Each structure stands twice: as structure tokens, then as C-alpha cells.
Amino acid sequence: MNNNEIIKHVRGESQFIDDLKLPHDILYGTVLTSEIPHGKIEKIDLGNALSLKGVVQIIDHHDIPGENQIGAIIRDEELLSDGIVKFAGEPILLILSESLDSGREALKEIKVDISPIPAITDPRESFRAGNLIVPPRTFDYGDTDSAWEKCEVVAEGRVESGGQEHFYMETQASLAYPVEKDSVKVLSSTQSPTSVQKAVSGVLGIPMNRVEVDVRRLGGGFGGKEDQATPWAAMAALGAYITKRPVKIVLSRSDDIRNTGKRHPFSSDFKIGLDSSGKIVAYEATFYQNCGAYADLSTAILERALFHATNSYFIPNVRVTGISCYTNLPPFTAFRGFGGPQAMFVIESAISKAAAKINMNVRKIQKMNLLKEGDLFPYGMVTENCNIIATWEKLEEKFQVEETYKKIDEFNRKNDLIKKGAAVMPVSFGISFTNKMLNQAGALVHIYTDGSVSVSTGAVEMGQGVNKKMINVAAETLSIPPSRVRIETTNTTRVANTSPTAASSGADLNGMATRSACIGLVKRLRSVAAKSMGVDIDQIKFKSGKVFNIGNGQSILWEELIGIAYSERVSLTSQAYYATPDIYFDKTKEKGKPFAYHVFGTALIEAELDVLRGVYKFNRVSIVHDTGKSLDQQTDLGQIEGGFIQGLGWVTVEELLFEEGGKIITGGSSTYKVPDIKFIPDEINVEMMQDLKNPYAVLGSKAVGEPPFMYGIGGYFAVRKCLFAAKPDVQLNFDCPLTPEKIIISLM
């Protein structure tokens, strides 16, 4: 097992915030939230709450010493509501108590009188009401209007994709300590320590240098803690700052599901035109993004949806529009893929509809339109080191795609009660934050006098194995065994002004900074060794924990060299910084090169449907994924399989439901289903394409975190094929998730 965190997890040795020993004067924070999706707070009656045993203080927006504002991109979100609530779950009061129970008792005592205002949950309705975060954005390429007449077939339609609960194992958690009179230290389960630091500084009205944020690890983030760990950390810090006692806030699962944002549901329209050979001539789409009550990261997510509107295809005429619509649902947020999955589901649906119309295999159309080296994306970026066709062809060859389809047809001819289906899903995903500013990282590396190494970066470990990757980068660069390297917590006092660990770029950016810091140390140590061995610098070689004089083969141990360097008073600490070069984007033209590079891959998903019961399963999944030179193969394999399964869950069994008015129905694990062990395909084959070293990331590697999620979309189309095999005239909208419930209804 290579991901060094896993052994500790399995043994129960890993500590998360909820596992930490608490000081004797700890207070628990319980958050009172709005019960209704939209309304005006008329009156708050605390009842007997404050006289309950253990209840220490109840904080509302008046108590905030700084600004009551946590919006990161758009300043539209209060920490504690000061009058209007916009979703069921919006925080209003923070109860501080000496036990969790007394906090819950206090909740029951308090009556909040809210006069309701009509709520909107549908993004199209919100659009008609003009309730947008920012004006719509359009990416335009070629001449779509005049292209339609060149098409042999034009297909139009509507696509719905649902939200998705992150269901990280560790719910939102924070623990804040007052530090002397004027400072705080915050432990937070956040992907973005700097965002927490900034928000706490703003809310408390103190400079950032009086707020220390520390993160050991997360029990999963998946984007759900990129922005939405912030309010809970800010509330804990607020409580600690006001009471001068440590405050812990850990959400229960049901509060977490109810009060925090999820993947954005999208409602989209498409129009696609093909020529008689199956070439895509033109494509138009409009995405109505259901943003929920506050902007959060919605505008960035919409932007990434626009960038991925054409997935892996070259299309000469494209017009895609994205509209960020406020609704009275929890503020939807980052989730693995960040708008990419939503957009890719639309184009795959469009191709599927067009294929049916001209009676051609979907995979034939997909393949003939794949991006070739040098093709342009609609936003002006030229494809480079484009592997999409290579992954497709490798899949065909290695996993017998054509034979598989033949066998499925044969099977379906002979069987009525079970029907099989398959789909191929290509993925091309751009790597870099689309907000150029965020593409920077820092690292701080110490070598201690015994030769052991300590690495701090801005990367947050959330199960994706970034720590293991940083260990491998440092060990490889310093030519020492990985066991000599330790990754420290992510802490704002050691590495400052960090970007969130997100956009799949955690290992890329922080790996580059780590490598650069280690190269700095090697340079210094090389001089020390040369001097000590009495040879030229170029005669010195570092290898396997030793330092060689290549002239005569003599060597000293790494540890000895470190001892010499220390006594020679050579610094054993190095700090380094990395910023992704050559990326830019001109928003006035919607053109540029926003990504350092793309990750490519193709998957074949095979499903079977029990026609009587409407249940389906996935028999076999085969993935050819372009990993570049993997920094850690076990870790990447875990990311590819795990990402795929999470994507599969999104399009099949994970159904997020809200009542008409906006209250969540699927508020727990009994009503919201995530893929379990039985749901996992019987056979998962992953072929990592490692032969093409990526020049744009550390040591020839490639980002891996998000792209595999989108292979899951193929699961929707595989099940759809099963359904059509069972009932060729079935009426089925492009609406994911395609739950067994929907299947059974459409089979009736």
C-alpha cells in the first residue's frame, strides 16, 4: 500500500479534528439555522435558552467585531443572517455551551419568527425573474448561425443533471483556540487554509497575521471544503475570540447535508448538427446553473463548464452560454470536476440524440470527432500533446471494444429479462485554476542535523495522496529514501497565501515548489560535498542516500554530509515558490490559454439491466487514462477508480431531492444513496498511459484528481442502452441520475 496515510487510517491512528483531545474549558458551538427557504426574520425569542445549565453565550450578527461577510468571490453572504434568510439551513445564531447536549437543548428553547417570502428553486424561473449573479457569458467560435444549413441532421433537446452531496466521511469540523488576548489559532477541515484565515480576519476585524490556520488532514473534501469549510471555522473563531475559550464545531451528518452546498444542478438546452458522415458541424448549448442562495464559487464553476462544453471533440462552430441563477437552495459549490461533468453530460446527450436521428453508432460519431493535435478549443487554446485518440485506440485494442458490442447484441437477441448495454466515454479535462491568480504555490523544506527532512507546502491531504506524492518528489530530488521525509501539517504561518487544494492541481503546483526548494538544497550540498571531498562540483553525484565522488567511487552517507554542512554553517532550509507559466485568458474576448495542459482518457462501461425489477449493475469497466509519468502508481490507481465510481454515482443512484419550497428531502444516508461495495463494477480494468511524460507538471506527471470522475457519465449511457434494448420505443429524457425508480417507471 503506497499512500502512506492509508495504513494509519486502517489502524485508526489518523487523527481528525473530532478525534483531538479537548482542553478542559472547551465550548461546543451549535448553530441555529433557518427552517424555511426564504423569509424575513421578524423576532428571535431566546426563551429559557440562556438559563439552561451549560449554556454560556448565544451569539448573533450584532456580536461580530469585524464584518459580517464571508463571500469569497462575490461579497453576498453573511456569516450570521442579519434579517433576510435565503435557504433552509442558513445560520442565524451560534450557541456556545459546555456540552453538546445543552447546545441541543438550547436549540429547542429558541423560537425564530420568520415571515416567508416566495421561494424559487428552479434556475429557469430564476432566470426569467432576472435573478442572476452576473450577466450570462457566451463562448463563441466559428459561425454557428450559418452552419445549420450545412448539416444533414440537426437535433435539439433539453438535459437535466442533478445535484450531488459530497458525503465526505468527515463532516465539516473546526476547533478554534484563543491565543493570548488578540489572536486565534484555528484547526479546520478545509481545503483552503488561506480562505479560512482571510474570512476569520475579516469577521474578527484583526489582521491576517493574528490568525493561524492549521490543517493536518481531511476525511475527504471533494470540493465540499474548498469554500464551505469557511463559515464553520469562522464561527468557531468568533466564539473563541469573544469568550476567550476554545470552541469546537463539528456538524452532525444531517446538519451537514442540510446546511452545506453540493454539486450544482444544471438545466440545459442543446442544438447539434452533423453532416451525413457524422462529423459535428455545429453545437449550441445554454446552461442554466442552479446556484442556490449565495454566489460561493458558482461563477468559477460556470466558467469551467463553458471550457468543457465540447468535451473531447473538435467542433468548428460553437456557441455556448452559461447563466448563473440564484435560487433558494443551499449555496451550491465546488465538487470534483467543477462544472466539467455537467457540461460534458450535455454534449454526450446531444451526440446520443443526433446518433439516433441519423441511425449511426454513437461511438462512431464520438471517435470521428475526437480532438487532433493542433485543433482549437472554442476558447482559443490549441491542443498540445493531445492523447485523446491514443487513449481511445488503446482502449479498443486492449479491451476489445467492438467485440464487446457484438457480444452484447448477441446476448440481447437471446435474452428478454436481462438486457445489456455499453458506452464509451472520452474525457479531456483542462488543468489549472481558471482564475489565473490561483496558480501559485510555495514550499518550505528543512533538513535537520540527523538528515531527516521536513516538508511544508500549501497542499492539503484529503485522501487523494498528495502527501505521498510530495514525499516522492522530495525523496527523488534529494536522492534519499522516502522514509526520511515527513510532510508537516498545512499551516498558514509556514506557507502563506496559499491557493485551495483544488482544481486537481495540488500535486502539480505544490510538487513544483517542493522540487524547486529541494533543488536549492542540493545545489548548496553539492558545493559542501565537493569541498569536503576535494573535487569539482560536477564530480559529485547523489544517489540512494549517499553522495559519491564519481571520479574514484568513494562515497559518504547523506547523514554525514548534512553533519558537515551544518558545521560549515550552510543553511539547511529552503523556501521556494512556483507560478504556472504562460497561461492567460482575456474575458472580454473569451479567448486565451487558460490551462497548462489537458488530461485525456477513454473508458468503456458495460451494464446490465434486470428488466422486471428495474435494477441494473455494472459488469465491467475499462479505462485507459493518461497519467503522464505517475508520481505514485497506487495513489493514481485509487484516484482513477474512486473518481470514476463517484461519477457513476452522480449519474445513477445519487438523487438529491428538495421539497417544492426548498427543504431537503434526502437529508441522510437512508434517503440519499451513494455507491456501496455491491454497486462497484465486478471488474475494473485501468490502463495507465505513462509513456508520454508531461513537460508541464512535476517530474513528467499529470494531475489526476478530477478527470476520472467524468468517465462515470458513460454509466448513464450504458444503462440507457440497456433500457432501449428492453423497450425500443421508451420515452426517456436526458435526465440524470437515472435511478432504478425512473427506469421502472419508464418500463411500465
Which of ligand MTE, ligand LUZ, ligand MOS, none interacts with 71 (beta carbon under 5 to 8 A by kind)? Answer: none
Q: How far is the CB of 338 from ligand MOS (least distance, A)?
A: 5
- Enumerate residues 403-462 that contact ligand LUZ by CB under 6 A: 433-435, 438
Q: What is the largest CA-CA distance in the chain?
A: 86
Nearer to ligand MOS, 283 or 585 (CB): 585
- Enumerate residues 449-478 that contact ligand MTE by CB under 6 A: 462-464, 466
Spacing of C-alpha 346 from chain mean position: 20
* Exposure string for 36-63, b = 16+ CB within 10 A, e = fewer: bbbbebeebebeebeebebbbebbbbeb
- Enumerate residues 706-745 that contact ligand MTE by CB under 6 A: 706
Nearer to ligand MTE, 349 or 464 (CB): 464
What is the 3 state secondary structure string of 99-168?
CHHHHHHHHHHCEEEEEECCCCCCHHHHHHCCCECCCCEEEEECCHHHHHHHCCEEEEEEEEECCECCCC
> What DSSP string describes 206-229?
--GGGEEEEE---S--TTTTTSTT
Q: 706 catalytic, yes or no?
A: yes
Nearer to ligand MTE, 330 or 465 (CB): 465
Q: Tell the burial category of 189 from Cβ atoms under 10 Å away from its Cβ (0-12, 13-18, 19+).
A: buried
> Is residue 304 a contact point for ligand LUZ (CB under 6 A)?
yes
Give the per-residue contact string, 281-300, with ligand LUZ (x = CB under 6 A; - = no). Answer: ----------------x--x
Nearer to ligand LUZ, 312 or 434 (CB): 434
Of the residues 170, 212, 461, 706, which is catalytic?
706
Which of ligand MOS, ligand MTE, ligand LUZ, none interacts with 220 (beta carbon under 5 to 8 A by kind)? Answer: ligand MTE
C-alpha to C-alpha distance for 232 and 91, rounded to whole angstroms: 10
- Enumerate residues 499-538 that contact ligand MOS by CB under 6 A: 502-503
C-alpha to C-alpha distance for 597 and 490, rounded to whole angstroms: 27
Which residues touch 532 (CB under 8 Å, ≥6 apart)?
556, 561, 564
Nearer to ligand LUZ, 334 or 346 (CB): 334
- Return the residue of 173, 184, 196, 334 that touches ligand LUZ, per CB under 6 A: 334
> Is residue 640 a contact point for ligand MTE (CB under 6 A)?
no
Q: Tell how strand 247-250 and strand 27-33 pair up.
A: parallel
The answer to whether 58 and 93 have CB atoms below 8 angstroms apart is: yes
Cell 501559485 found at: 440
Nearer to ligand MTE, 316 or 458 (CB): 458
Cis peptide, bond prior to residue 123, ω within 30 of zero: no
Kindly determine how many residues on this chain lie close enough to bind ligand LUZ according to the rule CB under 6 A.
11
* Exposure string for 636-656, b = 16+ CB within 10 A, e = fewer: bbbbbbbbbbbbbbbbbbbbb
* Residue 247, phi then psi, degrees to nearest 5: -130, 130
> Is residue 507 a contact point for ligand MTE (CB under 6 A)?
yes
> Is residue 308 a contact point for ligand MTE (CB under 6 A)?
no
Nearer to ligand LUZ, 203 or 305 (CB): 305
Q: How far is the CB of 191 from ligand MTE (least distance, A)?
A: 8
- Return the residue of 97, 192, 286, 504 that touches ligand MTE, per CB under 6 A: 504
Q: How far is the CB of 393 from ligand MTE (least distance, A)?
A: 27
- Enumerate residues 222-241 that contact ligand MTE by CB under 6 A: 222-223
Cα–Cα distances (Å) from 486 to 187, 471, 475, 502, 742, in that order, read 20, 7, 10, 22, 50
Nearer to ligand MTE, 310 or 627 (CB): 627
Give the per-residue contact string, 231-250, with ligand MOS (x = CB under 6 A; - = no). Answer: --------------------
> Is residue 626 a contact point for ligand MTE (CB under 6 A)?
no
The answer to whether 509 and 442 have CB atoms below 8 angstroms apart is: no
Which of ligand MOS, ligand LUZ, ligand MTE, none interacts with 507 (beta carbon under 5 to 8 A by kind)? Answer: ligand MTE
Nearer to ligand MOS, 562 or 651 (CB): 651
Give the single-character DSSP code of 701: B
Cell of 204: 474578527
> Is residue 427 a contact point for ligand MTE (CB under 6 A)?
no
User: How many alpha carbons lie under 13 Å from residue 100 in its C-beta half-sphere?
Assistant: 6
Kindly determine how many residues on this chain lie close enough to bind ligand MOS according to the rule CB under 6 A.
11
Give the per-residue contact string, 479-508, with ligand LUZ (x = CB under 6 A; - = no). Answer: -----------------------xx-----
Q: What is the side-by-side strand order in the sheet with 555-557?
A: 540-543, 546-549, 555-557
> Is residue 649 a contact point for ligand MTE (CB under 6 A)?
no
Which of ligand MTE, ligand LUZ, ligand MOS, none interacts with 477 (beta carbon under 5 to 8 A by kind)? Answer: none
> Is residue 502 a contact point for ligand MTE (CB under 6 A)?
yes
Nearer to ligand LUZ, 438 or 528 (CB): 438
The answer to whether 312 and 426 have CB atoms below 8 angstroms apart is: yes
Amino acid, single-letter form, for residue 593: K
- Enumerate residues 693-712 that contact ligand MOS by CB under 6 A: 706
- Enumerate residues 191-220 that contact ligand MTE by CB under 6 A: 220
- Enumerate residues 300-339 that contact ligand MOS by CB under 6 A: 334-336, 338
Which residues touch 84 (CB under 8 Å, ≥6 apart)?
38, 39, 40, 41, 117
Q: Tell the burial category of 13 from Cβ atoms under 10 Å away from its Cβ (0-12, 13-18, 19+).
A: exposed
> What DSSP string describes 229-262?
THHHHHHHHHHHHHHSS-EEEE--HHHHHHHS--
The answer to whether 92 and 301 have CB atoms below 8 angstroms apart is: no
Nearer to ligand MTE, 178 or 643 (CB): 643
> Is residue 501 a contact point for ligand MTE (CB under 6 A)?
yes
Q: How far is the CB of 73 from ligand LUZ (least distance, A)?
A: 8
Find the radius of gyration of the CA atoms of the chain.
27
Q: How far is the CB of 221 from ligand MOS (least distance, A)?
A: 6
* Exposure string for 203-218, b = 16+ CB within 10 A, e = fewer: bbebebebbbbbbbbb
Give the per-residue contact string, 338-357, with ligand LUZ (x = CB under 6 A; - = no). Answer: x-------------------
Which residues touch 614 (CB under 8 Å, ≥6 apart)?
740, 741, 743, 744, 747
> Is residue 223 a contact point for ligand MOS (CB under 6 A)?
yes
Residues that bind ligand MOS (CB under 6 A): 191, 221, 223, 226, 334-336, 338, 502-503, 706
Instruction: Please list the active-site residues.
Output: 706
Residues that bind ligand LUZ (CB under 6 A): 297, 300, 304, 334, 338, 433-435, 438, 502-503
Residues that bind ligand MTE (CB under 6 A): 220-223, 336, 462-464, 466, 501-507, 639, 642, 703, 705-706
